[in-house]
Amino acid sequence: MSEANYRRLTRRNRTWTGFSQAWLGSDHLLIVNSIRFVERYQRFALADIQAIVVSEGGKRAVWQSLVVLICLVAGFASQSSLGRGFFFVIGFCALVLAILDIARGPRCRCVLQTAVSRERLLPISRMPSARAFLAVMIPAIEAAQGNLSAEDLAAHAAATPQIAPAMLTPKPPPLDRSIGFTPEVLFGLLMLDSVLVFVALRSSVGVALGLLPTIYFAEFLIGILALVQSRARSATSLAVLIAAFLCILVDPFALSGIAAWSSLVNAFRQAPSVPQWNLAIGASAGTLLLAAGWRATMAVTGLIVCHFERTARAH
């Protein structure tokens, strides 16, 4: 694509998988959708565009405010400097994302209608960009199709035969938004981690140094992705998902992490002649059962809820 022949209408609207952007050519609108390695081009002739509908989008993302609140409470409640630093950093990042989201303006949904298709324009996702987009597109479409005066529109409406209500096309059913499998992946990971955490807390420090941080990071990362992709989920599955994520945030600093951290500190305080890899983590039986038990409980509950949700959607 030669940029000299096109006028850029929007900036790149980036997502988790790629970006999308709108360009205006001499006689058509070009939409570029990229998924990093593959780019898909859609061209809409200006003469074929029947309507461009812009509607306000949903409310602000609830998870941003929820993460900020949870991190503040957990940071003040944590008794270790490591825990307070971790929660304050995560809360600060969530607060910055919320501020940037507000600064970009209200969300919106833009749909382009032609005679043969109805396409959502992904590059237009905010009201300020939608206004700038329409300010350019309306004159371009009028130049390609011509401009009808109010008298011509009234004459056209009078000449159009009235359609009886019985002949109108029935209202189509609402679209059923597809749901991903990220929550199922998270609950499956928790089931596996329930065994791995138990092994790590009963094993040597050398094993725990490599195993426990990996478990914590994987659960936190997939938990964030599951919350982001949970808009189409039911209230029950969303509640279970939020409860599991809260446990993921608290666990490294209140459950299994406390036992591992105290054991590591004691290990490094001992004499150098003592082999560090032979020192087992001194986790109590209650800590072992709690760290492994909440993961197994959340995993089983989440998988059951997701199964019934998919079964209900299938019927």
Same domain, 130 and 250: no
Same domain, 198 and 310: yes
Which CATH number do you get for residue 119? 2.30.29.30
Q: Which residues 6+ apart lie within 8 Å of 155 measured at CB?
A: none
Average pLDDT over residues 90-94: 82
Same domain, 235 and 112: no
Q: Of 92, 126, 145, which residue is a domain's last?
A: 145
State pLDDT tens for residues 289-300. Answer: 888 888 999 999
User: Would residue 187 count as lying in a domain?
Assistant: yes
Place 218 in a pLDDT band, splitting at 50, 70 and 90.
Answer: confident
User: Would residue 84 count as lying in a domain?
Assistant: no
User: Would residue 265 count as lying in a domain?
Assistant: yes
Assigned token pair, 19: 């970006």
Lowest-confidence region among 47-61, 143-157, 292-306: 143-157
Distance of alpha carbon 280 from alpha carbon 200, whole angstroms: 9
Is pLDDT at 200 greater than 90 in this prediction?
A: no
Assigned token pair, 196: 């791995």
Residue 153 belongs to what H/E stretch?
Answer: helix 150-159
Dihedral sign, Cα of residue 153, residue 154, residue 158, residue 159 = negative
Q: Do strands 39-45 and 49-56 pair parallel, antiparallel, or not at all (unpaired)?
A: unpaired
Assigned token pair, 190: 């928790």
Assigned token pair, 218: 């994987």
User: Would residue 99 count as lying in a domain?
Assistant: no
Same domain, 212 and 138: no
Between 155 and 13, name the one with better pLDDT.
13
Same domain, 204 and 140: no
Distance of alpha carbon 208 from alpha carbon 277, whole angstroms: 10
Share of the chain above pLDDT 90, in %: 5
Question: Which residue segment(s) compose the domain that 110 sits in?
Answer: 3-57+106-145
Assigned token pair, 242: 């939020």
pTM: 0.49
* pLDDT score of 91: 80
**C-alpha distances in Å from residue 181, one per residue of 17, 117, 218, 233, 249:** 16, 29, 16, 11, 21
Same domain, 193 and 124: no
Distance of alpha carbon 109 from alpha carbon 107, whole angstroms: 7
User: Would residue 66 count as lying in a domain?
Assistant: no
- Please give the angle made by the CA atoms of 103, 107 and 110, to the nearest 5 degrees: 135
Domain count, the chain: 2
- Find out whether 127 and 105 touch, Cβ atoms under 8 Å: yes
Same domain, 245 and 308: yes
